[in-house]
Amino acid sequence: MIDTYFFGYGSLVNRSTHNYQNSHPATLHGWRRRWCHIAPFPRAILSVTPDSSGTIEGLIAGGSDIDWDALDMREQAYDRAPATAAVRHTLDHTPDVILYTIPDEKHPPANAPQPILLSYIDVVAQGYLQIFGAESAARFFTTTTGWGPILNDRENPVYPRHQRLSAYERGFVDEHLDALAAVLK
Kindly give, in sequence order, each residue whose CB lies less than 8 Å from that of residue 113, ignoring residues fewer than 6 positions away: 37, 44, 146, 148, 149
Residue 80 is assigned to a structural domain of this protein: yes
What gap in Å lies between CA 176 and CA 161, rounded to an integer? 22
Residue 10 is assigned to a structural domain of this protein: yes
Residue 184 is assigned to a structural domain of this protein: no
pLDDT at site 1: 43
Residue 160 is assigned to a structural domain of this protein: yes
Number of domains forming the structure of the chain: 1
Which of the 8 DSSP states describes residue 105?
A: T
- Dihedral sign for Cα 121, 125, 131, 132, please: positive
pLDDT at site 14: 95
pLDDT at site 107: 86
Q: Are 123 and 163 in contact (CB under 8 A)?
A: yes
> Mean pLDDT for each consecutive 10-residue tract of the chain (185 residues)?
84 91 93 93 94 96 84 91 95 91 88 94 98 97 95 96 96 96 82
What gap in Å lies between CA 156 and CA 39, rounded to an integer? 24
Angle between helices 118-131 and 134-143 (to 10 degrees): 140
Question: Domain span at residue 25?
Answer: 4-179
Here the CATH number for the domain that contains residue 162 is 3.10.490.10
Kindly give, in sequence order, each residue whose CB lies less than 8 Å from that of residue 95, ignoring residues fewer than 6 positions away: 3, 4, 5, 60, 62, 84
What gap in Å lies between CA 78 and CA 103, rounded to an integer? 8
Residue 36 is assigned to a structural domain of this protein: yes
pLDDT at site 41: 87
pLDDT at site 106: 85
pLDDT at site 32: 97
